[in-house]
Amino acid sequence: MLLPVFTLKLRHKISPRMVAIGRYDGTHPCLAAATQAGKVFIHNPHTRGQHFSTSRVFQSPLESDVSLLNINQAVSCLTAGVLNPELGYDALLVGTQTNLLAYDVYNNSDLFYREIADGANAIVLGTLGDISSPLAIIGGNCALQGFDQEGNDLFWTVTGDNVHSLALCDFDGDGKKELLVGSEDFDIRVFKEDEIVAEMTETEIITSLCPMYGSRFGYALSNGTVGVYDKTARYWRIKSKNHAICIHAFDLNSDGVNELITGWSNGKVDARSDRTGEVIFKDNFSSAVAGVVEGDYRMDGHIQLICCSVDGEIRGYLPGTAEMRGNLMDTSAEQDLIRELSQKKQNLLMELRNYEQNAKAESSGPLNETDGQRGIIPANTTLRTSLSVNLGNETQAAHAELCISTSNDTIIRAVLIFAEGIFVGESHVVHPSIHNLSSSIRIPITPPKDIPVDLHLKMFVGYRSSTQFHVFELTRQLPRFSMYALTSPDTASEPISYVNFTIAERPQRVAMWLKQNFLFPEDTNIQSAPFQVCFTSLRTGCHLFIKIKLSGEITLNTDDIDLAGDIIQSMASSFAIEELQVEADFPVYFEELRKVLIKVDEYHSVHQKLSADMADNSNLIRSLLVRAEDARLMRDMRTMKNRYMELYDLNKDLVNGYKIRCNNHTELLGNLKAVNQAIQRAGHLREIIFMARHSGSCL
């Protein structure tokens, strides 16, 4: 079994995800981690007695080998690494909601300290694309910014939502790194410098990303999912009821391939095979894991995997030796596996006995009451499933609907549905009360986003008196645009916003694409071109017109710029379109944007006025203080008292002014986010062309 080669217990708490290792003097690896009350500690076990004392750094009163760095604000991201290759040692980078500090720990000096309007939720350090110098890239309120060693922002772009995770990875295998961005809108976006080249939609906020090797990378979601992607394809994933705090790639079994190491909220650390997700090693801490990093902490030439818990426990593991042949777990884990397998064997044997008995009963004549109880149903029983749109009523909102029915008088006792991103916990069980059992069942389905989803169904079929049931299993795909109902164009008003493009496909193929991606009533007949179809969004009630001309010219009328983008993307991938000329106009949308920009301007000028007021007030405070002090020296207590009363009032005004400033700042941030998202959306129509071209070259 693989045991830690060292264990330390620091007397400082560690904030989750805020852990990094750096060689701040170019030689000795030191652990840096954010701790409570706006401080970062640096653990230096290598050079005892070397202490710093400047305004930022002081020695920990708890431990002699720990220095503390004062940030005076909650730390929201932290990393360490080479920012200036000429220095020969690592920089420490600490981000907060308002600033980014690049710190030279060795010389006790700031490399730079920058104000960050959009906050720093995530940070990654390294080279991006063709930009020659290493960048400290931070992600915040819809914005991405990359700084060089002097604090110049050489990289800036916007993304769809608040950024939660970042990683650098050579996604397309051209030897240069792309930026992976995980955000609050469940998307993983891949940036080739400032251009989006791929976008993968997940089912929850992407909390962590890490490069594995080549184009393969690990990811973690806020719902306890971890997994591995290779380019745009998901390799595997698992879902736990605990939260994955951090992930890291490390070759723990020495087979030359990195495993995905995950640190969990319940104190577990596990290593999973990059190919299968199978656990090859696990260990437990007594508190939640805060960070997983790697470094040669013992300075003996071997890199250790280093795991830290929120309580300050640090364990280092060396990769398994050749003699262990990849068996990193102890024998009790093996026994667990044997127990699990024999349970499986028992279950299968029971199932086999049932089949044998059923076969015997079937050959002995027609069905009777006891056969029904044992779950025997007519051999020709089949299940029919269909998907449709239900417009809802006063008590139920409009939704997509799955209808399942049996081909005879058998009843459906229960239905289990497994589908990502639709149900809480990814599964849904429908079991009608005993009085409502029938041979058909309707299940409402409300996908929150327009993405195609596989519905994995298990249906229990039998009779009312049955105690055992026959289980039917099948998978149906819910079309991407299932939350749109076909509407008569006469009853709908045509949106003025539109996208126009021409594709070299026969109109019949476009009709087929429509049938695959929307839910049509069964009797719908799409005539030959030119034709138009009109849909109503079940979520917003807005209309969508799709018009197809014989020439292949297609016009989409919708005020929803995201929907237009999604439809073009879906067509582009169905028809393998590599390049598409798109003409678009969204006047309603741009009018909204114009209003937001005016607001942003207003908030900016209020901000400037408030800042000027504050500067005036500080001058006034200085003079009042001087005059109060003069009065004290003259023993003129009355004047002194009056001056202090004035100061007191001024202080109250300042506090009020500060509150207004804070509110103003919050409003400004909200509006800036809207602007950032607008820029991204407008870019989306353009990116589609690029993405289509890109995926073409991938194939």
Cβ proximity to Ca ion, 257 vs 621, nearer residue: 257
Beta strands in 231-277 (DSSP E): 233-239, 244-250, 259-264, 268-272
* Shortest distance, position 255 Cβ to Ca ion, whole Å: 4
Cβ proximity to Ca ion, 257 vs 430, nearer residue: 257
Q: Is 279 in the site for Ca ion (CB under 5 A)?
A: no
Q: Is 174 in the site for Ca ion (CB under 5 A)?
A: yes
Q: Is 170 in the site for Ca ion (CB under 5 A)?
A: yes
Cβ proximity to Ca ion, 3 vs 496, nearer residue: 3
What CA–CA distance (Å, rounded) separates 565 from 552?
18
**Which of 172, 193, 426, 494 touches Ca ion by CB under 5 A?**
172
* Shortest distance, position 165 Cβ to Ca ion, whole Å: 19
Cβ proximity to Ca ion, 277 vs 452, nearer residue: 277
Instruction: Determine contact, residues 439/459, Cβ cutoff 8 Å.
Output: no
**Which of 153, 193, 199, 255 touches Ca ion by CB under 5 A?**
255
**Which of 176, 456, 607, 632 touches Ca ion by CB under 5 A?**
176
Token pair for 37: 């009350």
Instruction: Determine contact, residues 73/110, Cβ cutoff 8 Å.
Output: no
Q: How many residues line the site for Ca ion (CB under 5 A)?
A: 9
* Shortest distance, position 248 Cβ to Ca ion, whole Å: 13
* Shortest distance, position 692 Cβ to Ca ion, whole Å: 19
Q: What are phi and psi of 154, to 5 degrees?
A: -80, -10
Q: Is 195 in the site for Ca ion (CB under 5 A)?
A: no
Q: Is 253 in the site for Ca ion (CB under 5 A)?
A: yes
Q: Which stretch binds Ca ion (CB under 5 A): 46-54, 173-181, 432-440, 451-459?
A: 173-181
Q: Report which DSSP code applies to 186.
A: S
For 288-332, the DSSP string reads: -EEEEEEE-TT-SS--EEEEEETTSEEEEEPPPPGGGTT--S-HH
Q: Is 557 in the site for Ca ion (CB under 5 A)?
A: no
Instruction: Determine contact, residues 546/554, Cβ cutoff 8 Å.
Output: yes
**Which of 251, 371, 559, 566 touches Ca ion by CB under 5 A?**
251
CA 366 vs CA 355, 372, 435, 467: distances in Å: 17, 11, 27, 19
- In three state form, how does the secondary structure of 3-36 look? CCCEEEECCCCCCCCCEEEEECCCCCEEEEEEEC
Chain-centre distance of CA 240, in angstroms?
16
Element (H, E) at 515: helix 507-517
* Shortest distance, position 177 Cβ to Ca ion, whole Å: 6
Cβ proximity to Ca ion, 73 vs 254, nearer residue: 254
* Shortest distance, position 282 Cβ to Ca ion, whole Å: 15
Cβ proximity to Ca ion, 2 vs 383, nearer residue: 2
Strand order of the β-sheet with 6-9 is 6-9, 313-317, 304-309, 289-295
Q: Which stretch binds Ca ion (CB under 5 A): 5-13, 28-36, 176-184, 521-529?
A: 176-184
* Shortest distance, position 305 Cβ to Ca ion, whole Å: 11
Cβ proximity to Ca ion, 275 vs 652, nearer residue: 275
* Shortest distance, position 178 Cβ to Ca ion, whole Å: 5
Token pair for 382: 């089949």
* Shortest distance, position 450 Cβ to Ca ion, whole Å: 29
Site for Ca ion, residues 496 to 515, rule: CB under 5 A: none
Token pair for 366: 């027609």
Q: Which stretch binds Ca ion (CB under 5 A): 67-75, 232-240, 243-251, 376-384?
A: 243-251
Q: Which stretch binds Ca ion (CB under 5 A): 165-173, 180-188, 289-297, 588-596?
A: 165-173
What is the torsion angle, in degrees rounded to the nearest 10, for the CA atoms of residue 5, residue 11, residue 17 and residue 22?
A: -60
* Shortest distance, position 154 Cβ to Ca ion, whole Å: 18
What CA–CA distance (Å, rounded) separates 219 from 221?
7
**Which of 154, 257, 333, 582 touches Ca ion by CB under 5 A?**
257
Neighbours of 638 (CB within 10 A): 8
Contact residues toward Ca ion (CB under 5 A) are 170, 172, 174, 176, 251, 253, 255, 257, 259
